[in-house]
Chain A
Amino acid sequence: MTATRQRARDRSTRAGYAFLSPWLIGFLGLTAGPMIASLYLSFTDYNLFTAPEFIGIENYQRLLTDSNFHQAAKVTALYVVFGTPIKLAAALGVAMLLHNSRRGQGFYRSAYYLPSLIGGSVSIAIVWKAMFIDEGIVAQIGAVFGGPDASAGGWVGDPGRTLPMLILLTVWQFGAPMVIFLAGLKQVPTEMYEAAEVDGAGPVRRFWNITIPLLSPVLFFNLLLETIHAFQIFNSAFIISNGSGGPAQSTLFYTLYLYFRGFRDFQMGYASAMAWVLVIVVGLISLLLFRSSKSWVHYSGDDR
Chain B
Amino acid sequence: MSRTKNARRTRGSILFHAFALAVLVVILYPAVWMLMSSFKPSSEIIGEVSLLPANGGFQNYAKALEGIGGISFWTFVLNSLVLAAGSVVGILLSCSLAAYAFARVAFRGRNLFFVCMIATMLLPFHVVIIPQYIVFNNLGMINTYWPLLLGKFLATDAFFVFLMIQFIRGLPRELDEAAVIDGAGHPRIFFSIILPLMKPALVTSAIFAFIWSWNDFFGPLLYLKEPGMYTMPLALRLYVDQTSTSDYGAQMAMAILALLPVLLFFFAFQRQLVGGVATQGLKG
- Chain A residues at the B interface, C-beta cutoff of 8 Å: 9, 11-13, 15-17, 19-27, 29-35, 37-38, 41, 48, 94, 97-98, 100-101, 103-104, 108-118, 120-124, 126-128, 130-131, 133, 135-137, 139-141, 150, 172, 176, 179-180, 182-184, 217-218, 221-222, 224-225, 228, 231-232, 234-235, 238-239, 242, 255, 258, 262-263, 268, 271-272, 274-276, 278-279, 282, 286
Q: Are A235 and B130 in contact (CB under 8 A)?
A: no
* Inter-chain contacts of A225 with B (CB < 8 A): 122
Contact-residue size bin, chain B (C-beta under 8 Å from the other chain): 35 or more
- Whether the pair B120, A272 counts as a contact (CB closer than 8 A) is no
Residues on B with beta carbons closer than 8 Å to the beta carbon of A25: 154
Contacts of A101 in B (CB 8 A): 13, 16, 20
A232 to B121, CA, bound (A): 13
Q: Does B183 contact A (CB under 8 A)?
A: no
Known: A19-B105, A101-B13, A113-B270. A275 touches B151 (CB 8 A): no
Cβ-neighbour of A41 out of B108, B130, B240, B280 (below 8 A) = B130
Instruction: Report if B237 contacts A (CB, 8 A).
Output: yes
- CB neighbours of A11 from chain B (8 A): 185
Q: List 30 A-B contacts (CB under 8 A).
A: A19-B100, A22-B155, A23-B154, A27-B113, A27-B154, A35-B127, A38-B127, A48-B134, A94-B23, A110-B274, A114-B31, A115-B27, A121-B233, A121-B258, A121-B259, A122-B233, A126-B240, A126-B255, A130-B45, A137-B33, A183-B278, A222-B281, A228-B124, A232-B124, A232-B125, A242-B241, A255-B126, A263-B222, A271-B130, A279-B127
Contact: A27 with B120, CB < 8 Å? yes
CB contacts between A and B, total, < 8 Å? 271
* Closest Cβ neighbor of B257 among chain A residues: A123
Of the listed stretches B46-54, B66-74, B196-204, chain A binds: B46-54
Given contacts A12-B107, A15-B187, A16-B101, contact A268 B130 (CB under 8 A): yes
Given contacts A133-B46, A218-B281, contact A19 B190 (CB under 8 A): yes
Complex Cα distance A120/B45, Å?
23
Query: In the assembled complex, how far is the CB of residue A301 from the closest CB belonging to chain B, in whole angstroms?
Result: 12
- Is B123 in contact with A140, judged by CB distance below 8 angstroms? no
Q: How far is the CA of A262 from the CA of B125 in the complex (A)?
A: 14
Q: How far is the CA of A139 from the CA of B117 in the complex (A)?
A: 45
Q: Are A117 and B211 in contact (CB under 8 A)?
A: yes
Q: When chains A and B are docked, how far (Å) is the Cα of A222 from the Cα of B280?
A: 10
Question: Top 5 nearest A-B pairs by Cβ distance?
Answer: A26-B154, A16-B107, A180-B281, A19-B101, A37-B131
Measured CA separation A160–B120 after assembly (Å): 35
Q: What is the bound-complex CA distance between A276 and B123, given in angstroms? A: 11
CA distance A190 to B123 in the complex (A): 37
Among A15, A238, A268, the residue within 8 A (CB) of B185 is A15
Q: Is the interface of B mostly helix, strand, loop or mixed?
A: helix
Find A118's partner among B215, B222, B277 (CB 8 Å cutoff).
B215
User: Is the beta-carbon distance between B127 and A275 smaller than 8 angstroms?
Assistant: yes
By beta carbon, the residue of chain B nearest A25 is: B154
- B1 in the interface, Cβ–Cβ < 8 Å? no
Check A150/B27 contact, CB under 8 A, given A25-B154, A262-B130, A263-B133: no
Cβ-closest chain A residue relative to B154: A26
Tell me which residues across on chain A come within 8 A of B39, comparing CB atoms.
none
Chain A hits for B218, CB < 8 A: 234-235
Give the distance in Å from the alpha carbon of A258 to the alpha carbon of B130 in the complex: 10
CA distance A23 to B153 in the complex (A): 8
Most B CB within 10 A of own CB, among A30, A274, A276 = A30
Distance A53 CA – B191 CA, assembled complex (angstroms): 50
B279 with A34: CB separation less than 8 A? no
For the complex, give the distance between the alpha carbons of A141 and B26 in Å.
13
Cβ contact of B237, chosen from A9, A34, A122, A255, cutoff 8 A: A122
**Listed residue (A27, A112, A176) with the most chain B CB atoms within 10 angstroms of its CB:** A27
